[in-house]
Amino acid sequence: MTLKSTLLSGAAFALALAFAGPAAAQDCPRGDLDERFCDVDGDLIADTPTDPADLVDPDTLIFAFTPVEDPAVYKDAWSDFLTHLEAETGKSIVFFPVQSNAAQIEAMRSGRLHIAGFNTGSNPLAVNCAGFNPFTIMASTDGSFGYEMEIITYPGSGIEKVEDIKGKQMAFTSPTSNSGFKAPSAILKSDFDMVPERDFEAVFSGKHDNSILGVANKDYPAASIANSVKFRMISRDVIAEDDVVTIYTSQTFPTTGYGTAHNLKPELKEKIRNAFFNFEWEGTSLEKEFEKSNEGQFLEMTYQEYWDVIRKIDAANGVSYSCE
């Protein structure tokens, strides 16, 4: 299975044909990156272009948060941070409420998205196909970070352990989601010898909140989800804690990665970076929302180090970062 075949099947994923940009120099090292990018320093992300003609400095910057839940919730949650970002950059900032991971990646690839938080599983595709340069994640005030993938069911479903899902339906979120598809697929196959179609019926809900609500409302007997989303939904009283039962919890994974398009002017990139790290959370709309999942600061990180486990999961699933 390749990432291309996974995403294109039933997803209307037009990313491959959405943008025709200048080809990178033929002799530039790039690893898994699309041919439009170079990686001379070997950090696995696209280098900032050296030709000034390839750099962009828009008057209005577009920001998008990964579509894990209702975008309307997060437009309000990010409002104080985006006001801060405007002050730090001197630019107008627009919140772009994307509806899918594929749309978010396509927007950055085509130059319509400048700053973004991509979810854990879509980071590698955003990096390799869209030129995403991640540099930070959210963390708790003590420096800990991350979330776990959980497989959940509802009380009285008859499912008490993972093996009980056999012969039933299991909801995933989208093919680019780590906890919503990639990690559980690898774990179910390696640890439980369970694969879709042969052992259970796989369906896609589109987003984590859809899967969680689907289980809580007994529409799905089981689902794989990010527990950070579940905790925030419980805190907002969208579901009650006892509406769902966890039957499997994974290791801790890095959460959403935040960064910029690779081709922003270096001085603009630096202003954006500084805005993340000098943002004061206390009393803000961002704190109000994300303290529900125990997050209260932006922690510096590198894609090469922090996403190593995710790239290994992709390799175990036979995923390739093909952009064509």
Same domain, 217 and 89: no
Q: What is the bridge-based pairing of β-strands 297-300 and 132-139?
A: antiparallel
Shared domain check, 153 and 93: no
Count of domains observed in the chain: 2
Residue 16 sits in the same domain as residue 139: yes
Examine the domain organization and report whether 290 and 153 are in the same domain.
Answer: no
**Gap between the Cα atoms of 320 and 91, Å rounded:** 37
| Same structural domain, 238 and 262 | no
Q: Is residue 219 part of a domain?
A: yes
Domain boundary among 237, 252, 267: 252
Answer whether 215's CB lies under 8 Å from 154's CB. yes
In a domain, residue 321? The reply is: no
Instruction: Give the pTM.
Output: 0.79
Q: Look at residue 283 and tell me if it is in a domain.
A: yes
Amino acid at position 288, single letter:
K
Q: Could you tell me if residue 190 is inside a domain?
A: yes
Distance in angstroms (rounded) separating the CA atoms of residues 122 and 45: 14
Residue 227: per-residue pLDDT: 94
Would you say 22 and 31 are in contact if contact means Cβ atoms under 8 Å apart? no
Residues 60 and 185 in one domain: no
| Alpha helices (H) along 115-169 | 123-130
pLDDT at 80: 98
End of a domain among 252, 282, 302? 252
In a domain, 198, yes or no: yes
One domain for residues 94 and 223? no
| Domain of residue 50, residue span | 3-143+254-316
Domain boundary among 252, 280, 298: 252
Task: Specify if 324 maps to a domain.
Answer: no
Element (H, E) at 114: none
**Whole-angstrom Cα distance, residue 243 to residue 52?**
55
Same domain membership, residue 198 and residue 90 = no
| pLDDT tens-digit profile, the chain (324 residues) | 343 333 333 333 333 333 334 443 457 999 999 999 999 999 999 999 999 999 999 999 999 999 876 777 889 999 999 999 999 999 999 999 998 889 999 999 999 999 999 999 999 999 999 999 999 999 999 999 999 999 999 999 999 999 999 999 999 999 989 999 999 999 999 999 999 999 999 999 999 999 999 999 999 999 999 999 999 999 999 999 999 999 999 999 999 999 999 999 999 999 999 999 999 999 999 999 999 889 999 999 999 999 999 998 998 888 888 776
Strand partners, 148: 252
* Pairing verdict, β 132-139 and 147-153: unpaired
In a domain, 13, yes or no: yes
What does the DSSP assignment read for 179-218? IIIIHHHHHHHHHH---BTTTBEEEE-SSHHHHHHHHHTT
One domain for residues 166 and 234? yes
Please check whether residues 296 and 312 belong to one and the same domain.
Answer: yes
In a domain, 323, yes or no: no
Two structure tokens written together for 84: 């801060």
Q: Compute CA distances 198 → 25, 192, 225, whole Å.
A: 46, 13, 22
pLDDT at 53: 97
Q: Are residues 282 and 306 in the same domain?
A: yes
- The CATH number of the domain holding residue 16 is 3.40.190.10
135/13 same-domain check: yes
